[in-house]
Amino acid sequence: MQCCIRAATMSTSIALPTRSTITPAATLSLSSGYVSTADYGRRYVFRDHPSIRDLRSPLRASLGSTSIIVNGQGAGLWEDRYLPFGDVRYHSDTVTNTVQTRYRYTGQWLEEGLAASPEGGLDRGLYFYGERWYDASLGRFVQPDTIVLDPGNPQSLNRYAYVLNNPLRFVDPSGHDPLDQAWQDEFEQVHNRKPMAEDIQIRLFSIAFPNEWNWSAFYNPDGSYMQGSLEIVFRDQRPANWSWEDMPGALERMAGWYNADEEEFYTRDIGSLFTGLLNRLEAPEARHAIYNGGRGSARVWVYLDRSGLSPVLMGNSDDDANVHHWAWGLTMGAEYDPAGSMVNILREATQFNGDWHNTWSDVSIGDQGAALGAHFRILGLTDVTRAWNYFMLDRRF
């Protein structure tokens, strides 16, 4: 799984291998953007060194670190034991260094050429985390994160800190775009199948609402999807305190996963999570997801309760506090810019059934969502909460 890591890349040029040949520990939960993992006693096969000709398996600890390498007969060849932040506290190599894997602490690539003391000792170098380099001897990234993912958590204010200073629980792998090919590949390796539309909604939910995320609420022990779990968690048995007041935080957490040129991915994913629109892997063109044969929503979405937003925007007939219409408008505004508001008005006019109150609510919340979506698409995701306050709460300052 991946986490938001945004920073300037280091000037040193190093050719890095792909991660497709190694399987991480099974991901179970997310909290504040960091990935919490657990190991089911599986053995992970790899061939990331050209000298490896026979089958060797790294046995991995609970956070996905490569701890022991054995040969096909189970004989130990190599062992590393780690301190909490990844520095090596014990090393044993029974054969030769040529059988070592470069994927070590939490399964990340170790570049030994950047070691502070390459002449000896256990200071092995820097780990590459996709966008930044990490020094396990310091327990800190060597470049700052360009965003503060959760300003309400004091541990996230140090932008050099590693996993909220809690390495016994969390790992911080790499990358952006929560639905990218790397995530799809890792999902398939863990679940032994390709992700379905339900898995994509669960993925987005785990980012937007990490405190409510529970792997076992959605999946059977074998990794198969538990039928009906989306309806149970998103709608039928949702917590009573889920409301519009939680939306700014959810949007901020999601925004941390996207690069500066991925605003469309962000708005599409909001539409999938909060309107049930076809996701961007099913329907690469946003207009197809927005229309969907005139139906709009393709599946269940996350429901909210009514506090935190003006009653004028929510109407009185929708159990989800009209979040579906807001997210539909946001996705449409990002696709059509200012014309999204006109599309929203025309849609409501053609569907008018004599209920002026709810029609006005749909027009209003759809227009405000469209304006917010256009803002994200044009101006980016640098100040999500301020944009929310401006467009949805009419707070101009």
| pLDDT per residue of the chain (397 residues) written in tens, 0 to 9 | 333 332 222 222 233 333 222 233 333 222 333 333 333 333 333 333 333 333 344 444 446 677 777 766 667 777 888 888 888 888 777 655 554 677 788 777 788 777 654 444 455 788 887 678 889 888 998 888 766 666 667 877 888 888 778 787 666 654 457 888 878 887 888 788 999 999 999 999 988 888 787 888 999 988 899 999 999 999 999 988 889 999 998 998 888 788 778 899 999 999 999 999 999 999 999 989 988 877 778 899 999 999 999 998 998 888 999 999 999 999 999 999 878 788 888 877 787 788 888 889 989 999 999 999 999 999 998 889 999 999 999 876 5
Which pLDDT score, from 0 to 100, does residue 375 have? Answer: 95
Which pLDDT score, from 0 to 100, does residue 103 have? Answer: 76
Residues 313-321: contacts with CB within 8 Å, 24+ apart? 313/361, 313/364, 313/365, 313/368, 313/392, 314/361, 314/365, 315/357, 315/358, 315/361, 315/362, 316/357, 316/358, 316/361, 317/355, 317/358, 318/358, 319/235, 320/235, 321/243, 321/244
Structure tokens at 282: 């099913």
CA gap 24, 362 in Å, rounded:
44
A 10 A CB-CB count for 124 gives 24
- Measured between its terminal Cα atoms, the distance across the chain in Å is 37
| Number of residues that make up the chain | 397
Which pLDDT score, from 0 to 100, does residue 233 have? Answer: 95
Phi and psi at 36, nearest 5°, equal -100, 135
For the entire predicted model, the pTM comes to 0.63
Sheet architecture: strand order including 76-82: 57-60, 66-70, 76-82, 88-93
Q: Which residues contact 89 (CB under 8 A, 6 or more apart)?
A: 81, 82, 83, 122
CA gap 283, 179 in Å, rounded:
14
Helix/strand number for the chain, H first, E second = 11, 11
Find, among 55, 67, 62, the residue nearest to 25 by Cα: 62
Which pLDDT score, from 0 to 100, does residue 275 have? Answer: 95
Which pLDDT score, from 0 to 100, does residue 212 have? Answer: 83
Which pLDDT score, from 0 to 100, does residue 164 have? Answer: 77
Which pLDDT score, from 0 to 100, does residue 34 have? Answer: 33
Amino acid letter, 168: L
* Structural domain boundaries in the chain: 26-171, 195-392
Q: Could you give the residue ranges of the DSSP H alpha helices within 309-351?
A: 311-314, 323-336, 339-350
Q: Do residues 82 and 89 make contact, with C-beta atoms less than 8 angstroms apart?
A: yes
Strands 66-70 and 76-82, how do they pair? antiparallel
CA gap 220, 18 in Å, rounded:
30
Query: CA-CA distances (angstroms) from residue 141 to 17, 32, 36, 129, 172?
Result: 21, 18, 19, 9, 11
Q: Which residues contact 152 (CB under 8 A, 6 or more apart)?
A: 249
Which pLDDT score, from 0 to 100, does residue 96 have? Answer: 56
Q: Do residues 137 and 124 make contact, with C-beta atoms less than 8 angstroms apart?
A: no
43-53 burial string, b = 16+ CB within 10 Å, else e?
ebebebeeebe
- 88 forms beta bridges with 82
Which pLDDT score, from 0 to 100, does residue 276 have? Answer: 96
DSSP assignment string, 347-375: HHHHT--S-HHHHHHHHHHHHHHHHHHHH
Query: CA-CA distances (angstroms) from residue 291 to 271, 326, 328?
Result: 12, 15, 10
DSSP reduced 3-state for 127: strand
